[in-house]
Copies of this chain bind each other. A is one copy, B any other.
Amino acid sequence: MSHNTFGHLFRVTTWGESHGPALGCVVDGCPPGIRFTLAEIQAWLDKRKPGQSRFVTQRREDDLVKVLSGVMLDDDGETMITTGTPVSMLIENTDQRSKDYGEIARRYRPGHADYAYDVKYGIRDYRGGGRSSARETAARVAAGGLARKVVPGLTVRAALVQIGKHRIDRNNWDWGTVNDNPFFAPDPAIVPVWEEYLDSIRKAGSSVGAVVEVVAEGVPAGIGAPIYGKLDQDIASLLMSINAVKGVEIGEGFGAAELTGEDNADEMRMGNDGNPIFLSNHAGGILGGISTGQPVVARFAIKPTSSILTERRSIDADGNNVDVRTKGRHDPCVGIRAVPIGEAMVACAIADHYLRDRGQTGRLK
């Protein structure tokens, strides 16, 4: 299982299972001189943390992040300054109930990767999903916290825009409300609808899919690269690497299939300040793989978790037909907790391309 690393100059390697002593990441390529506090990184992890509402898994993890290398403390004893060496971050696993998983050690949960892992590796850490547990994404979020610091002026935010068939009204979009509800919904009017719907899903021991939209502002024009190093390609790759993601869009996405060239191409005019203005953003901020300076807009679809209480038909490792019910403390809608993960992935992709342009040390303007 090689390939737990992503990025070309801002390179992130994650490691760890949900039921080992810890998990973490090594961020290699963070330029020197980046200043941050542990609290800033922790804030992103807290956003992803389970158990924050009845709509996500009740598993309890403090998810406290430690920084083991790559920084020196500033005189205030709190601000960390990167030295350019690898930043190793570690999160201990504290709430492991292996007994919950004993009975599925040899049973393949439908919709999970159990069967695929066994075919590939012949061995599988069945405890809590092992490496394919959503806990791996805690390490991504920690890395994303650093990535946000690499590009001056960068803001990466995400919101949930669809649960099941219930979509937000885009005319209501208000970033100010995203953190005021348990769904990261940008439309306050959808909140009661989703509450009622997800309560019914949760009580039925079922689950449902969702769509997340990520918007990055302050992306300098000119990062990315044509052909096989496209910024949108790397964003698509990283979003698709998140567990349960089945689709990715940039800008208009699949909607572009229905448009004509007149409707889709973003016209330009010179602004009063001498800078170009785009009159629309169908492209989602990227043309030919390169950023245009407009906000970068990406969306991704998350399937419903296959950990549900209804019995489903499957087989076991010995080739017997079995019926599987997945007990444990799972998410009725994993899409909710995917919001900060999507932000982290987009931030990492942008940081990587920023450094490809500016160079490894970032010192040479």
Contacts and interface: CB of A to CB of B under 8 A. Distances in A.
A359 B363 contact: no
Output the residue of A24, A358, A361, A363 with the most chain B CB within 10 A: A361
A233 B23 CA distance: 22
A246 B284 contact: yes
B247 A253 contact: yes
A301 B257 contact: yes
Interface in A27-50: 28-29, 32-33
Given A20-B69, A125-B83, A256-B301, A236 B265 contact: no
Contacts of A87: 15
B88 A313 contact: no
Interface stretch (A55-63, A145-153, A285-293): A285-293
Contacts of A3: 8, 28-29, 225, 227-229
A360 B266 CA distance: 27
A13 B28 contact: yes
Interface residues of A, number: 153
Interface string A1-25: 1111110111101111100111110
A303 B256 contact: yes
A227 to B, nearest CB: 5
Contacts of A66: 21
- Copies of this protein, total: 4
Contact of A229 (B2, B246, B261): B2
A293 to B, nearest CB: 8
A116 B178 CA distance: 32
B227 A241 contact: yes
B256 A241 contact: no
Interface in A206-248: 206-211, 221-230, 232-234, 236-238, 240-241, 243, 246-248
Contact of A206 (B20, B225, B262, B321): B262
A80 to B, nearest CB: 11
